[in-house]
A and B are shown apart, each in its own frame.
Chain A
Amino acid sequence: MLEKLLILLFASNVLAQVCMPDAPEAYKVRLSIKTALGDQAYTWNDNELYLFRATLAFAMRNYLSGQLFDVSNILVCNETERVSFWFMVKSVTNPTTLIEKQHVENAIKESRHRINSAFLLTDQTLEFLGILPTLASPFVPATPPWLIAFGVVMGVVGAGIVYFLVAAVVQRKRKKTLDEEEEAKGATENEIAGENLDGIYNTSFSDDEKVTEM
């Protein structure tokens, strides 16, 4: 009876250290190298997998400071040709237990950019299923550019309107003084050439006002 219990305990310990897909502490990773890099894509091999385990250990070290994670703490299984696999993280302090999902997620989120850069990938091409990619907040400039454009256009239009109005007023004033001069000139001419008043179509008296400045 006691031996059976011992064997069961031993077996469960061994099992706890073997990576299993869909385990509560496991994450699935998917890499789309060809999509990201096209012709310059590198082939996925064991060395790349080693680098992955190393970067993940780096992330865990950063997150849980003091605990020195090593490549051997990162367990990988179920590799496919797609380049996807599952991984789990063994604890440093207690080699028989696994780190919980939440801690792994936080560690990855903190060092996500570094992990991506190690593989020349992005949040979309190096997917951790279950961890949402961090969203870049939209770029909002300090002064809305449309306000600047609006100010420029309204300035130009306002200047144009002011120019036209001033020109119209100046022209009207000039016309008024010209009319007054013409009337005075016409009166003196009439006194000089007395008999020729009738029958001449005197254009200086013609209706200037009809020709509006349109």
Chain B
Amino acid sequence: MQREVGSLPLAPALRARLAAAGFQTAQELLETGPCGLSKELGISKEEALEALQVVRQECHGDTARTARGSGATRKFTALELLEEEQAQGFIITFCSALDNMLGGGVQLTKITEICGAPGVGKTQLCMQLAVDVQIPECFGGVAGEAVFIDTEGSFMVDRVVDIAAACVQHCQLIAEAQREEDHLKALETFSVESILSHIYYFRCRDYVELLAQVYLLPEFLSEHSKVRLVVIDGIAFPFRHDFEDLSLRTRLLNGLAQQLIITANDHKSAVVLTNQMTTRIGQSQSTLVPALGESWGHAATVRLIFHWDNSQRLATLYKSPSQKEATIPYDITPRGFRDVQPPAVAPSADGTERNPRKRPRREEEKQ
């Protein structure tokens, strides 16, 4: 292999020594052997042996990679990818306008980012998706499990119970209307308890825990191979306070993004992130933009921005590889994330001014 020494994944100090000693290609390294290498460079035999192992692995890359089975760098033709995409399912959100805008729902193997001001409904959508990913295939879902990584502490289990109950009820109505064998069989295992037991919840308190959790995800996912959704609620929160070195932050965030893309691709799962908004103060006006800087904008494949228009919640598709930009209204009901109902439905019972940003807890709304 005429692979240059500079392009191999070795430690920088070792690489500098190799360059000083005059080694140029991987072939020369392999021919020198570990004893010769340790003599030339002045390193111990174990280090030389390790370095040669890395070189050998890189040079015989094809056989090593297919043996590992993950196939991360397998080559495909566009035709194979098209067939794969057409066979892939989506995670629906129960809001048909949003599903249509996204081209069917949240796509597997891609990173979707949801940005929005506080209280607009990002965590609600994440909880809805964690329930919706478990819908059985006969009802149009992907029948997977969910991993929920929480950094802000906004995961409320009783709210998930409400959402799950509404979802089960919805499926029961479909089954009763259509009366098919597999629908009834699927419903036996689809209940609120089973939904809750298939959401794996992790709580990360600072950025080190978050990074560790994301880098450990591949092992977890290979043990739980049915996971089809990874939600990280609040990726901005641990990175926004307490960071003096901004270039380190960019470096960590980009490494995190690449690791998430690898995870989404290898395990065929969707990754959903929520981000906060920050203000950019311009010459004459200030605008709300997603937090974490310009380079983070490239990490997500699909970007949704949730915002308010008076008291109506709107979702805008800001970035997508296959859909056009659009804005749709949505609503958050006691049963979860839903479409906007037409105004013929009875308005709210009491006439007092409500804060449109957070749904108040009123006794008569709880089941």
Q: Do A and B come from one complex?
A: no
